[in-house]
Structure 1
Amino acid sequence: MKNLLATVAFVGLSATAASAATVVDLTTGGDATGNGLQMGSFASGAVTGTIDPWRRGGSADYLTQTGTGLGVTGGWDTSNQLDGIVDESITFTFDHSVRLVSVEFSNFGRYDDADIYVNGTMVADDSSNNPYYFGNVVASSFTIGADGVFDNFRIKSFTVAPVPLPAAGFLLLGGLAGLGALSRKRKKAA
């Protein structure tokens, strides 16, 4: 009986630990690398992936990273933020699926708004929410874009959580633990 209780407690604690959120810091000295490069990466705990800047036009796109977060620059556009002078965006692609919780912006004024995509599908057009909450959707990528003439902001951080095990997985583990406990009880009785 003690082993069964220990197993149930272990499964319960594992389920709790699996739902812990991770904040990925995109400021200088944070969890992202790639300042001045055409591609970047991020790593925070078990959350890893790539960062891809994009600008409309033929010139190269470069990530810019400061103490306030990530932006994009290139060509004649010397602003190092996400701005609407030329449409710009940054895509974050994860090495494995995660639950998207939120994204936070810096230098986000009252005229700023962001276009937000999850797995390539637009989920918010011109959102002025800061932070923006995704609603815990499971995704392998998300994109933040700026296309308004007054947009001029940076991406400061984002928060994700691991994809939880399905309830059937916990039932299976509980059932296996119960069978193990029954087997031990029968062996002791024999």
Structure 2
Amino acid sequence: MRIKTVTMAAAITLAAGVASAATIDFTDRSVWNSAASTTSVFGATVSISATGGAINFTQDYDRSKTGVCDGFGGALACVSDGLGVTDDEITTEGSMVQTATVSFSSAVFVKGFSFLDLYLATDGSDLETAKIYFNDDMSTMISFAALQTPSANQPGFVVGLANVAPVTSITFFAAPSNDNLGNPDYSLASIEVAPVPLPAAAWMLLAGLAGMGYVARGRKNA
């Protein structure tokens, strides 16, 4: 009976781990306020770095909060504008391409992202696009395009799904396409992560152990 109880408890714990998720909220200045800031998710330490300038969290969030601060994977603090480089945004200006990298001390499953200040041109002629790649491998690149114009207090909020694992680093930069206002840029608001899913072989092993526990109990009762 003890074997079955312990094994089934382990199965429940692992299933809960795979199902759970955490939001890394870069708009929360109580956690993220400098390049030295870190946090922890699922046993992994999360750290940040940049090229082309210094990490910046100083811009206050000053746009509409509707649909943002109750955002992707959980409420966003909406205190700052999120992670930027030099100013409140990650910018591409000609040959100058700023990057921001979020690193994890152990691998995680990346479910998706949210962005701010990612805009369409008012006349629809162009749009800003967030570019992302994983584990220092540019062949893994994905893109998320703007959905809002900068008019009527719109926050330029975009949610993008990824579902990529295992991930130990994510690098962000802006595509050269633009909203025709200033330079191509955006802020990183959040990342949604979960534990790396348990491989199928491990689930089979766990199921086998559970079966052994059941058999052991049956023999004892017999």
TM-score (norm 1): 0.77
Taking the TM superposition and a 5 Å limit, the aligned residue runs for 1:1-190 are: 4=4, 7-8=7-8, 11-12=11-12, 14-29=14-29, 31-34=31-34, 37=35, 39-44=36-41, 46-55=43-52, 61-66=53-58, 67-73=80-86, 79-85=87-93, 86-110=96-120, 111-122=127-138, 123-124=140-141, 127-128=144-145, 130-148=158-176, 150-189=183-222
| Matched length | 176
Secondary structure at 1:32's aligned position in 2?
A: coil
* In 2, Cα distance between equivalents of 1:118 and 1:44: 18
Secondary structure at 1:131's aligned position in 2?
A: strand
Secondary structure at 2:38's aligned position in 1?
A: strand
Unaligned runs of 5+ in 1: 56-60, 74-78
* In 1, Cα distance between equivalents of 2:202 and 2:25: 32
% identity of equivalent residues:
27
* In 2, Cα distance between equivalents of 1:173 and 1:120: 33
Deviates more, 1:24-33 or 1:6-15: 6-15
Is the CA contact (8 Å cut-off) linking 1:32 and 1:43 kept in structure 2? Answer: no
* In 2, Cα distance between equivalents of 1:80 and 1:43: 23
Is the CA contact (8 Å cut-off) linking 2:26 and 2:32 kept in structure 1? Answer: yes
* In 2, Cα distance between equivalents of 1:139 and 1:22: 15
* In 2, Cα distance between equivalents of 1:96 and 1:10: 21
Greater relative contact order (CA < 8 Å, ≥ 6 in sequence): 2
Aligned to 1:58: none
Is the CA contact (8 Å cut-off) linking 1:42 and 1:51 kept in structure 2? Answer: no
Is the CA contact (8 Å cut-off) linking 2:37 and 2:47 kept in structure 1? Answer: yes
Is the CA contact (8 Å cut-off) linking 2:129 and 2:144 kept in structure 1? Answer: yes
Amino acid at match of 1:140: T
Unaligned runs of 5+ in 2: 59-79, 121-126, 147-157
Provide closer, same or farther for how the CA distance between residues 137 and 18 of structure 1 changes in structure 2, counting only shifts above 3 A. closer
